[in-house]
Amino acid sequence: MDLTLKIWRQKDKNSAGQLVTYPLNGISPDMSFLEMLDVLNEELLVKGEEPVAFDHDCREGICGMCSLFINGRAHGPERGTTTCQLHMRHFNHGDTITIEPWRAAAFPVYKDLVVDRSAFDRIQQAGGYVSVNTGGVPDANEIAIPKTIADKAFDAATCIGCGACVAACKNASAMLFVSAKVSQLAMLPQGKVERKTRVENMVAQMDIEGFGACSNTGACAAECPVGISLDNIAMMNREYLGAKASSENVA
Amino acid sequence: MILDSKIPEGALAEKWDKHKFNVKLVNPANKRKYDIIVVGTGLAGASAAATLGELGYNVKAFCFQDSPRRAHSIAAQGGINAAKNYQNDGDSIFRLFYDTIKGGDYRAREANVYRLAQVSVDIIDQCVAQGVPFAREYGGLLANRSFGGAQVSRTFYARGQTGQQLLLGAYSALNRQIAYGKVKMFPRTEMLDLVMVDGKARGIVVRNLITGKVESHSAHAVVLATGGYGNVFFLSTNAMGSNATAAWRAHKKGALFANPCFTQIHPTCIPVSGEYQSKLTLMSESLRNDGRVWVPKTVEIAQRLRKGEISVNDIKEEDRDYYLERKYPAFGNLVPRDVASRNAKLMCDEGRGVGASGLAVYLDFADAIKREGQPAIAAKYGNLFEMYAKITDENPYEKPMRIYPAVHYTMGGLWVDYNLMTNIPGLYATGECNFSDHGANRLGASALMQGLADGYFVIPYTIGDYLAQTPYDKVSTDHPAFKEAEQNVKATTDRLLSIKGNRTVDDFHKALGLLMWDYCGMARNAEGLQFAKQEIRKLRDEFWQDVKVTGVNEELNQTLEKAHRVADFLELGELMVDDALHRNESCGGHFREEYQTPENEALRDDENFAYVAAWEYAGTSGNPILHKEELKFENVKLTQRSYK
């Protein structure tokens, strides 16, 4: 199939960017979206032009490195799919495809389609863990956890940290991302000891990073490639209120 | 050079405990006087960095991805082995040790493997304490499943995303230490050289992948946890960025590279669909618990299938050859990976392969769905089935999966002693980056086990032993050794940018990958290997004359990043070929066509090749120098592996 691509090109953090149009022909429907970009980049290289920078790594939908805002949708038109798992069979011959980076104040553009998502790491550093050192822990089967709870915690824990939720949100809110970790650990007995300080500290860091407020439109969950549920946001709100009502952040 | 593996004296089961008592300790208050560099933040790196930070050392951790959470350990699907014997089915530390040694076709060190089996039980405890949501039974206790090469159920899992959950556990421990200030994290930073002072590893030179700035970092010890080199084949199940550069540049500084030809070709991957293909996707080995592998019984049926005259579901039961069940009744579809891969290749070579290319076999779930119902199968493998459907546009609940072997893991790596230290004092290698535990073939669910064993439970002890004997003095990054390494990195970069040739980096990489796959892949022979060696040298010369790298150093330049990595693959590929050529036997994943049993199984030569081949770098035009570490087997009897 033949396509017209409109791709955001931006030299670096401090430069202004713009959409640049590239025709691209002979694309196979079995290619992944990123393989289609590989083909474009090889063509650009052969012509001596600078290839398009984009983040990608595992190409199997789990590392969360790939991003891309495709025709106004985070990770493109297929629900429940990362860009690397999106295949060209979902597009048609003659289509014009607009490709932009994630847009959020907290995710500044490094170059072209590559953004800085280190804010996510800093939120996790604020409390996304159980404070245990290596060694000296009880036997794994001493902590019995009901299967239903373990499964729910697992569902929250599958977040890949790609940032699609932020990109999809009109307020660029990170609530879905933060709530996935908060509720995973709040549900499990191992995480209960620190549940109050955790949610307070992670939410505080989220605000410092400049993510917007949540207005419950649900765009984040609709665009999440791994199906993180809005229930997590509800649970985090409850956790947060409870924590603020009887804060253990006394230090 | 005499290779001293430093295996402790004493009975196998007591070596590690005795060693832990005998190693020197660093007083808690003195730990903060030592700096440690950890390169790579996958399971082996993140667990090491976090644990060393907890102990009180000053740690600097580096990864080329935008976050430590993206390391490719995240993509491991099936599970992690541990000798917990929670299933009461006869597992024990010795059995896990025995299965691993046998699975590796008797080319691994007994002492290392036994220690691995010992600490495996601690890993599960640690991960559960961190909040890793492993699969559980209704009673609330942990669930297990079976994996290839074992007859007990000892694999812990988190649906088809075990690697993700374990890595996020290690990442959370790492984050905690970053927050405490004990670990300083450098994402989007790539190690491009090792720095040695007075014969010891004292730091690294890195390139900031955003600004291009070349920087030095000094420390008392350096840990490489940089993963494997499967991407030398271009197409593999590795992530696009996985590379050998850190390990290879350490090799060029004197670290020996052991058993480089031992690569694992995983039997169940989605077949190649076209030339544009950038990577291959694994379908977890756990699928072989319920999936049955088959091809049509005759070449004629296979041909009609490939032409589209009949569909797979038209093939009658009696016309299907469940060849693994037929040839290996005891292990059936759960034979080890090397055996399963080689048999898939044999079937396709006979002309009984399926799919348009004829390079695929079926993995069929029809019986399991009939037996347990679709919801039960979906609960076990749902995400894998979805992934398969997305990539192939076929529904695996209705039609069997088409699978074919693909490069997955590299058992070879930097040579290390029992302490995981390379032959360069102060330089350690952990996880897939070293060679030590899997011999010539790794069993499923053992990579996660080894990565976390090394990082959580081995290196925290052994590195202390080295540091306790190292003065506190720091080396300034103004030291001439750092300046010289920085100059070398800059010179290589300048050279790559100044060639301005005609062929792209990917073009060279694909050409190398094809050579490696055709001549140093699932089956090798002397003639093909000799040919490949010449061709790789030619390709390398051409690379340095005709590669096209655009842009400048002082920016985010992904083409330049790739060029550095492919330059190293072009050298490593030749060493793999040399190693495969010198090893005149077949063992595990190394199958030399000249050496096979009448039943086409790998034929080892224990008399002449029961050793680790550790290679010393001798320049790009010279021939590498072979050093041998004899493998002594005192606790297992070497036999022809049989899974019948």
A236 lies in some domain: yes
Cβ contact B612:B629 at 8 Å: yes
Q: How many A-B residue pairs are in contact by the CB < 8 A criterion? A: 211
Would you say the C-alpha torsion B496, B501, B506, B512 has a positive or negative sign? negative
Does residue B563 contact residue A51 with C-beta atoms inside 8 Å?
Answer: no
Q: Using CA atoms, how far apart are residues B420 and B109, in angstroms rounded to an integer?
A: 12
- Taking residue A197's Cβ as centre, other Cβ atoms within 10 Å add up to 18
Please state whether beta strands B547-548 and B503-504 pair in parallel, antiparallel, or not at all (unpaired): parallel
Question: What is the distance between the alpha carbons of residues A61 and A162, in angstroms, rounded to a whole number?
Answer: 10
The answer to whether position A250 is within a domain reads no
Band (B286; pLDDT cuts 50, 70, 90): confident
Q: How far is A25 from chain B (nearest CA, A)?
A: 13
The residue of chain B nearest to residue A146, with distances taken between CA atoms, is B140
Using CA atoms, how far residue A226 sits from A113, A160, A193, in Å, is 21, 8, 28
Chain A interface, best mutation among B240, B283, B457, by max A CB count within 10 A:
B240
pLDDT digits (tens, 9 = 90+) for B497-513: 999 999 999 999 999 99
Phi, psi of B325 (to 5 degrees): -65, -35
Q: Which tokens belong to B39?
A: 């390169």
Contacts of B8 (CB under 8 A, 6+ apart): B15, B16, B18, B19, B22, B111, B418
Please tell me whether residue B523 adopts helix, strand or coil conformation: coil
Query: Is position B70 annotated as part of the catalytic site?
Result: no
In degrees, rounded to 5, the angle at the alpha carbon of residue B442 between the alpha carbons of residues B438 and B443 is: 125
- Say how far apart CA B414 and CA B249 lie, in whole Å: 11
A248 touches B: beta carbon within 8 Å? no
Domain assignment of residue A232, given as a range: 117-245
The ipTM (two decimal places) reads 0.98
Q: Which residue from B163, B276, B504 is facing A35, i.e. has the nearest CB?
A: B276
Q: Examine residue A210 and state whether it is found in any structural domain, yes or no.
A: yes
Task: State the virtual CA torsion across B464, B468, B474, B479 in degrees, nearest 10.
Answer: -90
Q: Tell me whether residues A51 and B135 touch, CB distance under 8 A.
A: no
Residue that is last in its domain, among A111, A145, A172: A111
Same domain for A161 and A83: no
By the 8 A CB rule, do A199 and A247 touch? no
- Give the mutation candidate from A31, A54, A60, A81 for the B interface (greatest B CB count, under 10 A): A60
Q: Chain B: nearest CA to A216, how far in angstroms?
A: 27
Chain A window 39-58: which residues touch B at a Cβ cutoff of 8 Å? 39, 42, 45-46, 48-51, 53, 55-58
pLDDT band per the 50, 70, 90 thresholds, residue B620: confident
Q: DSSP characters for chain A?
A: --EEEEEEE-SSTTS--EEEEEEE----TTSBHHHHHHHHHHHHHHTTPPPPP----SSSS-S-----EETTEET-SSTT--GGG-BGGGS-TT-EEEEE----TTS-EEETTEE--HHHHHHHHTT-S----SS----GGGS---HHHHHHHHHHHT-----HHHHHSTT-B-HHHHHHHHHHHHHSHHHHTTHHHHHHHHHHHHHHTT-B------HHHHH-TT---THHHHHHHHHHHHHHHT-----
Residue A234 forms part of a structural domain: yes
pLDDT at residue B4 greater than cutoff 80 = yes
B361-364 and B503-504: which strand pairing? unpaired
Alpha-carbon distance A238 to nearest alpha carbon in chain B (angstroms):
21
Pairwise CA distance, residues B215 & B194, whole Å: 12
Domain span(s) for CATH 1.20.58.100 in chain B = 480-601
Contact check, Cβ <8 Å, B75/A157? no
Strand order in the sheet with A69-70: A18-24, A3-9, A96-100, A69-70, A73-74
- Taking Cα atoms as reference points, which of B303, B280, B316 lies closest to residue B355? B303
Task: Examine the domain organization and report whether A83 and A189 are in the same domain.
Answer: no
Fold of B267-406: Flavocytochrome C3; Chain A, domain 1 (3.90.700)
Same domain, A156 and A221: yes
- pLDDT category of residue B644 using cuts at 50, 70 and 90: confident
**Sheet architecture: strand order including B320-321:** B263-269, B401-410, B361-364, B292-296, B320-321
Give the SS3 label for residue B406: strand
A251 located within any domain: no
Any idea what the CATH number is for the domain that residue A178 is in?
Answer: 1.10.1060.10
How far apart CA A79 and CA B608 sit, in angstroms, is 57
End-to-end CA distance of chain B: 42
pLDDT score, position B148: 80
Dihedral pair phi/psi, residue B324, rounded to 5°: -70, -40
Class of domain B480-601: mainly alpha
User: Which stretches of chain A score pLDDT less than 70?
Assistant: 251
* B559 contacts on A by Cβ (under 8 Å): 45, 51
If you average pLDDT over residues B108-136, what whole number do you get? 98
| Helix H or strand E encompassing B215 | strand B214-218
A184 contacts in B (CB within 8 Å)? 131, 133
**Using H for helix, E for strand and C for coil, what is the string for B297-314?**
CCHHHHHHHHCCCCCHHH
DSSP 8-state secondary structure symbol assigned to residue B454: I
Q: How many of the other CB atoms lie within 10 Å of CB of B349?
A: 12
The minimal CB distance from B130 to the residues A11, A39, A132 is found for A132
**pLDDT tens-place string over residues B159-196:** 889 999 999 999 999 999 999 999 999 999 999 999 99
Residue A159, beta-bridge partner list = none
What is the tally of structural domains in chain A? 2
Do B164 and A60 lie within an 8 Å CB cutoff?
A: no
Q: Is A131 on the interface with B (CB under 8 A)?
A: yes
Q: Which residue of A has its CA nearest to B183?
A: A125
Quote the CA–CA distance of B457 and A133 in Å, as a whole number. Answer: 12
**pLDDT score at A251:** 60
Considering only CB atoms, B138 lies closest to which of A63, A147, A191, namely A147
Give B60-117 as a 3 state SS string: EEECCCCCHHHCHHHHCCCCEECCCCCCCCCCCHHHHHHHHHHHCCCCCCHHHHHHHH
Q: Which of A13, A34, A58 to mutate to test binding with chain B, by most B CBs within 10 Å of its CB?
A: A58
**Boundary residue ending a domain (A111, A130, A147):** A111
Residues 6+ apart with CB under 8 A from B506: A38, A42, B562
Q: Does A155 share its domain with A65?
A: no
Query: Which residue has tokens 């080890």?
Result: B336
| Same domain, yes or no: A149 and A198 | yes
Cβ proximity of B134 and B32 under 8 Å: no
Strand intervals (E) in B232-288 = 257-258, 263-269
Closest Cα of chain A to B480: distance in Å?
Answer: 33
Is A1 in CB contact (< 8 Å) with chain B? no
The SS3 assignment for B539 reads: helix
Q: Examine the domain organization and report whether A101 and A174 are in the same domain.
A: no
Distance CA A190, CA A157 (A): 14
Same domain, A40 and A75: yes
Average pLDDT over residues B451-456: 98
CB-CB neighbors (< 8 A) of B453 in chain A = none
Taking CB atoms and an 8 Å cutoff, what residues of chain B touch A195?
Answer: none
Interstrand relation of B413-414 and B427-429 (parallel, antiparallel or unpaired) = unpaired
Do A90 and A176 belong together in one domain? Answer: no
Cross-strand partners of A99: A7, A70
Query: What is the per-residue burial (b if ≥16 Cβ within 10 Å, else e) of B86-99?
Result: beeeebebbbbbbb
Minimal C-alpha gap between B55 and chain A (Å): 9
Chain B nearest C-alpha distance from A27 (Å): 9
DSSP state of B398: T
CA dist B104 and B259 (Å) reads 12
Element (H, E) at B208: strand B200-208
- Assign residue A65 the CATH number of its domain: 3.10.20.30
> Under a CB-based contact definition with an 8 Å cutoff, are residues B546 and B503 in contact?
yes
B141 chain-A contacts, CB cut-off 8 A: 141, 144
Residue range(s) of every CATH 3.90.700.10 domain in chain B: 267-406
Which of A118, A128, A161 shows the shortest C-beta gap to B172?
A128
- Token pair, residue A113, equals 């389609």
Query: Residue B482 phi/psi, 5° resolution?
Result: -70, -45
User: In this complex, which of B138, B460, B550 lies closest to A50 when CB atoms are compared?
Assistant: B550
Taking CB atoms and an 8 Å limit, are A153 and B273 in contact across chains? no
**Residues A145 and A227 reside in one and the same domain:** yes
Q: Give the pairing type, strands B183-186 and B214-218.
A: unpaired
Instruction: Tell me whether A198 touches chain B (CB under 8 Å).
Output: no
Q: How far is B53 from chain A (nearest CA, A)?
A: 10
Domain check: are A139 and A85 in the same one?
no
Q: Which of B95, B107, B145, B337 is catalytic?
A: B337
The residue among B269, B265, B287 whose CA lies nearest residue B279 is B269
Compute the distance between CA of residue A144 and CA of residue A132 in angstroms, rounded to an integer: 18
Domain boundary among A76, A111, A146: A111
- A191 inside domain: yes
| Measured distance between the N- and C-terminal CA atoms of chain A, rounded to whole angstroms | 62
| A35 in a structural domain | yes
Residue B274 pLDDT: 87
Residues 6+ apart with CB under 8 A from B344: B267, B293, B361, B403, B404, B405
